[in-house]
Amino acid sequence: MKKKIIIIGGGEHAGVIYDCVKEQKKFDLIGYLDKKKGFLSKKKIKYLGSENTFFKKFKKNKNIFFTIAIGDNYKRKKIYDDIKKFKIQINWGIVIHPSASISPLAKIDEGAQILNGSIISYKTRISKHVCIYTGAIIDHHNHFHSFSSAAPGACTGGNVEVGENSFLGINCSVKHGVKIGKKVVIGGNAFVNKNCSSNSLYFGIPARRVRKWKDEESYL
């Protein structure tokens, strides 16, 4: 029996995830959850109500998977934490667009999303609920920690580490061996050639620490 999936989030990023799910042909999409009807209703995807009302009644089901289609790392993690409070066992689906190229020796964890045309190389680890956007190139032996993400065209050399909840901006590049801390935002087009400390914003060529980054700030 084909597995079923429910998308959490109904906005434009959810549209991208919907496209991946459709092309991946691994799951039957049964609907989406959000506070109110969103973009996915235009695609005739069934609206299943808010996460709160849905998870109050939901019982463990091994054939139903979920994916959190929220681009912002902080908001994606917050939804995950809110759902955890219901203490139900949830299956988190791995959504991969078929045009992505993934080494058989890469490790992709539950809840991750790998979008169109991205490349994940040899022995790279993509942890829980990481999102690798369109056309990002992630080279060998990288580790993207939980709830981090790489925007379109971001590019990393080998042995790069990206800490929890950190974000690589559009078209940035990260030199091989660089370690990026937790909750770091790298601005678009940056060239990161040195390690980056946690809770900070970096941008420029070469990238410099610009200021402290606060959790709830938005970079999208």
Q: In this structure, what token pair is assigned to residue 136?
A: 């990002």
> On the CB side of 189, how many CA atoms lie within 13 Å of its CA?
2
**Is residue 203 close enough to count as binding ligand COA by CB under 6 A?**
yes
Part of the chain binding ligand COA (CB under 6 A), chosen from 58-66, 83-91, 121-129, 199-207: 199-207
Residue placing its CB nearer to ligand COA in the complex, 88 or 210? 210
**Is residue 187 close enough to count as binding ligand COA by CB under 6 A?**
yes
| Cβ-closest position to ligand COA | 187
Given 13, 140, 143, 145, which residue is catalytic?
A: 140
Binding mask 146-175 for ligand COA (x = CB under 6 A): -----xx----------------xx-----
Kindly state the number of chain residues that form the binding site for ligand COA, as judged by CB under 6 A.
14
| Residue with token string 């078929």 | 98
Residue placing its CB nearer to ligand COA in the complex, 10 or 187? 187
CB of 217 to ligand COA, least distance (A): 7
**Is residue 133 close enough to count as binding ligand COA by CB under 6 A?**
yes
Phi first, then psi: give them for residue 113, nearest 5 degrees.
Answer: -130, 125
Reply yes or no on whether 129 is catalytic: no
Q: How far apart are the first and last CA of the chain?
A: 38
DSSP characters over 135-186: T-EE-TT-EE-TT-EE-TT-EE-TT-EE-TT-EEPTT-EE-TT-EE-SS-EE
Q: In this structure, what token pair is assigned to residue 9?
A: 């989030």
Burial class (CB in 10 A: 0-12, 13-18, 19+), 23: middle
Amino acid at 61: N
CB of 194 to ligand COA, least distance (A): 16
Residue of 52, 204, 208, 215 interacting with ligand COA (CB under 6 A): 204
Residue of 125, 188, 191, 209 interacting with ligand COA (CB under 6 A): 188
Where in the sequence numbering do the catalytic residues fall?
Answer: 140
